[in-house]
Structure 1
Amino acid sequence: MTEWMADYHIGGIVVGICTFLIIGLFHPVVVKAEYYWGTRCWWLFLLLGVAGIIGSVMVHNLVFSSLLGVFSFSSFWTIKELFEQRERVKKGWFPMNPKRKSEYDKE
């Protein structure tokens, strides 16, 4: 498959499309993760990011290595977004999980 991409010089287009999809996937993940687990799941995204960096360094194919890099840094960005999503929930912009209402009342 990578030979086919190299023959037609579309590696950059593939990376661009996949980057768009990866970033688009992470938005609902942030919303759902904050709703169900709050900010205490941030470490999971840290582990995913570190695993993505390790994978990116170990993979020899430039397209796949790039996509692993995009995935890992999207995971790191998700940590920041989780805490910002908490603030958006407090402002009433997103629904609050009624089972975790006491977590929002602490502050």
Structure 2
Amino acid sequence: MEFLAQYNLTGIVIGIATFLIIGIFHPMVTKGEYYFGVKIWWLFLVMGIAAVAGSIAVRHILWSTLLAVWGASSLWSIGELFEQRERVAKGWFPKNPKRK
């Protein structure tokens, strides 16, 4: 971590990690809705609250920031999950024929 601070790379690491975290949540929402529907919204809520709480508890700026980004992405995904249901209803995404 001293290396990142020494060469002023913390910001670029946070930027890249944020991009990757957001990129991870897109398939989590689409696959989650496909296999389980919107009933998994509470998992995103628990994960978001835990990550935000962790962000407050962690003193290191890099890890605190990444936990906050993870938490915000988790909480944002709740709304995206319900919007994904609407996108499926419009035919923009496939509906899981095995799920009722």
Q: Do Structure 1 and Structure 2 share a fold, with TM-score over 0.5?
A: yes
TM range (shorter): over 0.9
Runs of at least 5 residues in structure 1 that lack an aligned partner in the other structure: 103-107
Deviation at 1:99, TM superposition (A): 1.6
Equivalent pairs: percent with the same residue?
59
Residue 32 (structure 1) aligned with residue 31 (structure 2)? yes
Deviation at 1:10, TM superposition (A): 0.6
Cα distance between partner residues in 1 of 2:10 and 2:59: 14
- Counterparts of residues 33-72 of structure 1 (less than 5 Å): 33-72=32-71
Q: 1:17-50: per-residue Cα shift (whole Å, max 9, x none)?
A: 0000000110011000000000000000000000
Q: In terms of Rg, which structure is larger? A: 1
The corresponding residue for 1:74 is: 73
Cα distance between partner residues in 2 of 1:98 and 1:23: 28
The corresponding residue for 1:10 is: 9
- For the residue of structure 1 that corresponds to 2:50, the secondary structure is helix
Runs of at least 5 residues in structure 2 that lack an aligned partner in the other structure: none
What RMSD over aligned residues (CA atoms) do the two structures have, in Å?
0.7
Structure 1 segments, 4+ long, off by >6 Å, are none
Q: How many residues align?
A: 100
Cα distance between partner residues in 2 of 1:64 and 1:4: 15
Cα distance between partner residues in 2 of 1:64 and 1:27: 22
Cα distance between partner residues in 2 of 1:99 and 1:86: 15
TM-score (norm 1): 0.91
